[in-house]
């Protein structure tokens, strides 16, 4: 995270935010069985129970253990189980074997959360500003895991032949197909991007710096399912000229022919979501596509992906809280556009920019310095948040990042073009 400069912290307000964030995590798993919360569907995903415990370990380790005199660990075995990737914190359970942790049970993990929550709230009034900043970081860290928890549950349930739904489908209100993509002429010249100000931001969002923008235009909305179906029908997954070499090798090796969770039924397509299997809504944003797919679609459409600087310059004037974001435990799905450019919510938008440090970036001291910087290799930046991103968590400078083949997140496409 970045320094807070002169920002003041009110412990009571921070305690309330802490309770709200922790409460939403518990609500998201309320419909899960112990088995649902234990299984790991792939190496990239983690069990729901692990997400709940890891976020608790974060607060227990970096706040209670390190800064509350006399605090005793809830269970001395838990740091080995629930450390994720912090080398400075020592040995840990292998990531690809998290689904083998059948004990502690879900109820015991929830008990762990309750114990840590009680201890932290009791201590928060006596903690100095730098430790309150760690609590704020922990809340934002947990919001990231709330999104991961949902997408990991979706991937898990998609492996089950009965395709269970965690929530019932919301009542569908018919929405007409959006107008053809319009183009917003972007600023050209020197633009300032990156986080500025005293509000929270992750370290990778700064420092704020100058970026050169060449004449370009950016689409006024994301690509829809209907438009993606046209790409499929035109042989988009069969024509190597649209694809990067690594992408074409991935398509052939994995047998990819449509977005993740799509299934052909008759002359149309269905998709699997947290509300079960439903017909693909042609007006809704396409999602669960990889960088490779996004780049190939852009090439097919005679366009390209925006750079992250182009995206941020265009999004800066829009309200980060105005889109389809996560508010409560309930149905989660991208929604058709109802008009007007929207840069936040529904789907994370792939950019053509590699996830690398900004000029002047420095990692923080200690274990929390491992939070973002060491992952700045081989990944691409996504912007804007999704329907599974908690409201209040995303902003114009926010940089998400994934490997180019990954698509189990709510990832979609906004086009750009040179002028």
pLDDT value at residue 339 = 65
pLDDT of residue 237: 98
What confidence category does residue 6 fall into, taking pLDDT thresholds of 50, 70 and 90? low
C-alpha to C-alpha distance for 202 and 414, rounded to whole angstroms: 24
Lowest mean pLDDT of 172-186, 201-215, 235-249, name the range: 172-186
Measure the CA–CA gap between 254 and 321, rounded to whole angstroms.
37
The domain limits of the chain are 11-158, 183-418
Strand partners, 272: 277
Instruction: Count how many residues are written for the chain.
Output: 419
Per-residue pLDDT at 76 exceeds 80:
yes
Q: For residue 275, what are the contacts with CB-CB under 8 A and spacing of at least 6? A: 165, 166, 167, 168, 169, 170, 331, 333
Q: Token digits for 166?
A: 């965690």
Give the pLDDT mean for 375-396.
Answer: 97
Task: Indicate the fold that domain 183-418 takes in CATH.
Answer: 3.90.1580
- At 340 the pLDDT is 64
Residue 8 has pLDDT above 80, yes or no: no
- Report pLDDT digits (tens) over 138-162: 999 999 999 999 999 999 999 999 9
Least confident residue range of 167-176, 231-240, 372-381:
167-176
- Distance, CA of 249 to CA of 255 (rounded, Å): 10
């Amino acid at each position: 995270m970045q320094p807070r400069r002169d920002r003041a912290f009110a412990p009571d307000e921070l305690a309330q935010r802490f309770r709200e964030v922790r409460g939403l995590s518990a609500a998201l798993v309320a419909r899960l069985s112990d088995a649902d919360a234990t299984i790991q569907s792939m190496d990239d995903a983690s069990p729901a129970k692990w997400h709940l415990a890891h976020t608790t370990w974060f607060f227990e380790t970096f706040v209670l253990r390190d800064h509350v005199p006399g605090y005793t660990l809830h269970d001395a075995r838990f740091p080995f189980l629930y450390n994720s990737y912090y080398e400075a914190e020592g040995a840990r359970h292998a990531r690809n074997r998290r689904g083998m942790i059948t004990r502690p049970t879900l109820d015991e993990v929830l008990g762990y959360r309750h114990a840590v929550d009680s201890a932290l709230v009791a201590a928060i009034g006596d903690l100095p500003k730098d430790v309150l900043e760690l609590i704020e970081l922990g809340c934002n860290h947990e919001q990231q895991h709330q999104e991961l928890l949902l997408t990991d549950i979706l991937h898990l349930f998609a492996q089950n032949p009965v395709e269970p739904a965690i929530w019932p489908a919301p009542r569908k209100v018919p929405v007409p197909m959006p107008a053809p993509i319009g183009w917003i002429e972007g600023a050209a010249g020197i633009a300032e991007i990156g986080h500025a100000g005293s509000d929270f931001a992750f370290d990778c969002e700064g420092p704020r710096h100058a970026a050169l923008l060449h004449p370009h235009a950016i689409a006024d909305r994301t690509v829809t399912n209907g438009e993606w179906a046209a790409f499929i029908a035109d042989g988009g997954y069969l024509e190597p000229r649209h694809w990067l070499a690594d992408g074409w090798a991935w398509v052939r090796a994995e047998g990819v022919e449509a977005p993740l969770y799509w299934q052909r039924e008759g002359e149309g397509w269905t998709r699997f979501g947290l509300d079960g299997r439903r017909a693909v809504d042609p007006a809704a944003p396409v999602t669960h596509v990889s960088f490779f797919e996004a780049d190939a679609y852009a090439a097919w459409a005679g366009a390209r992906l925006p750079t992250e600087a182009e995206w941020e310059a265009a999004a800066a004037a829009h309200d980060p809280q105005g889109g389809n974001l996560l508010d409560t435990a309930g149905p989660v799905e991208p929604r058709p556009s109802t008009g007007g450019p929207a840069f936040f919510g529904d789907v994370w938008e792939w950019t053509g920019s590699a996830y690398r440090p900004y000029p002047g970036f420095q990692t923080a001291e200690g274990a929390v310095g491992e939070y973002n910087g060491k992952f700045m290799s081989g990944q691409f930046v996504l912007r804007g948040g999704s329907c599974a991103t908690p409201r209040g968590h995303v902003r114009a400078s926010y940089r998400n990042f994934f490997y180019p083949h990954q698509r189990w997140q709510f990832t979609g496409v906004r086009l750009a073009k040179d002028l």
